[in-house]
Each structure stands twice: as structure tokens, then as C-alpha cells.
Amino acid sequence: MNPDLAYLLGAAGDASVIYNKKRAEYYIEYWQKNYKWLEQSVAPRIKKLFNKNVKSIPKKNGLFLMRFYSKSGYELFKKYLSNSTLILEETNEAQLSYVRGFFDAEGSAPKRKHGTTYRIHIYQKNLEPLRVISKILSNNGIIVGNLTNSRDIGLLPIRGKSNIAYFIQNVKPEHPDKTVALENLCK
């Protein structure tokens, strides 16, 4: 699998994959606070893989929307979103790209308070992708904490300064806000 496609599939952890029966439209929507991530990481991959020119559109809720129409894209995204274990059959490069996209969409690097542990998290309502990500990270020497579920939201923690630095080195997140937060966390 192309690593760019794996990235988009990972980032789809926070996307909507929609079939509008009335209009016979198939599309994928990415919503995000940071339009730069959509424009710099998502849009070029959509252009390269699906030959679609897309832009982020500001919405009244303060988020940005990026939508692309593609029946083949819809079918592919549905396939992987309904069975995220399929990514484990791909190359290690594609798997890490999947994790990169997923972290960029659903990860967090909270500011560390003095005296507390270094930690980052990946969130998702559906626990299956988090189990898959846990396996990918473990296979790449990154220590992950136990998957927890609080208020119907799954959380995969990664703790420890050197472990987080190793995560950054191997996964190579791209989200502008999260890369800054990760750099500040590991100073």
C-alpha cells in the first residue's frame, strides 16, 4: 500500500465517510481546527492519489472542512474503517504512515505539569484501531500503556520522555500544532 494512502486512512479516524443516496454522492470529509494540517498534509495526498483539488472551508463552528468526492475512495475507506486490522497486512512503512495520520487527527500531546509524567495520547471511540496502533507501535519498539475506555472514548497512552522521543523519530507526526507540542514536551 502506498504510504500516502495509509496516512489518509489513518487520518480518517476523525473523518466521515458518506454516501448520500438522494444525490448519489460518495465522499469523505475531514474536519479540523487547524486548516494548515488539512492544506499541507491531507490535500496534497488527495490530489496525488485521487486527482482531486480540494481546499479547506471555514465553518461557523470554528472548524475547517475538507471534502472530496470519490466512489472508489469511499469504498476503500469503508473497507479499512470497518476492519482496521487490514493495515497489519501492509508494509511497516505503510503501518507507520497510518499511525502518523491517526495521531495527527486523533492524538494529543498535553503540556506537562512540573512533577508529572511525560505522556501523549491517541483517542478513538472505536477501540479496534487503537488495538491495531498499539500492535504497530509495539512492533516498532515503542512502549504503549494499557488501552482504557472512559465515557465511551478509548485512550491509548504513550509515556516516558525517551519513549515519546522514539515515537516522534519513528512515526514523524506532521500536524503543525502537535509537532510543536511534542517538541516542547521533549525539551
Distance CA 67, CA 40 (A): 15
* 109 φψ region: left (φ > 0), alpha (ψ -120 to 50), beta (else): beta
Grid cell in block for residue 76: 476503500
H helices then E strands: how many in the chain? Answer: 8, 8
Residue 31's domain spans which residues?
Answer: 3-84
> Would you say residue 113 has pLDDT above 60?
yes
pLDDT single digits (tens) 49-99: 999 999 999 998 889 999 999 999 999 999 999 999 999 999 999 999 999
Chosen domain end from 45, 65, 84: 84
Q: Are residues 93 and 50 in the same domain?
A: no
CA atoms within 13 A on the CB side of 154: 18
Q: Are residues 179 and 99 in the same domain?
A: yes
Q: Are residues 20 and 99 in the same domain?
A: no
Q: Are residues 181 and 95 in the same domain?
A: yes
What are the Cα distances from residue 7, in Å, to 20, 68, 146, 148? 25, 16, 24, 24
Q: Are residues 158 and 98 in the same domain?
A: yes
pLDDT single digits (tens) 98-109: 999 999 999 988
pLDDT single digits (tens) 60-73: 888 999 999 999 99
Q: Are residues 10 and 23 in the same domain?
A: yes
Q: Which one-letter DSSP state was computed for residue 118? A: P
Q: Are residues 102 and 78 in the same domain?
A: no
Q: Are residues 43 and 57 in the same domain?
A: yes
The structural domain count of the chain equals: 2
pLDDT single digits (tens) 157-174: 999 888 999 999 999 999
Q: Are residues 130 and 78 in the same domain?
A: no
Q: Are residues 33 and 96 in the same domain?
A: no
Q: Are residues 67 and 93 in the same domain?
A: no
* 162 φψ region: left (φ > 0), alpha (ψ -120 to 50), beta (else): alpha
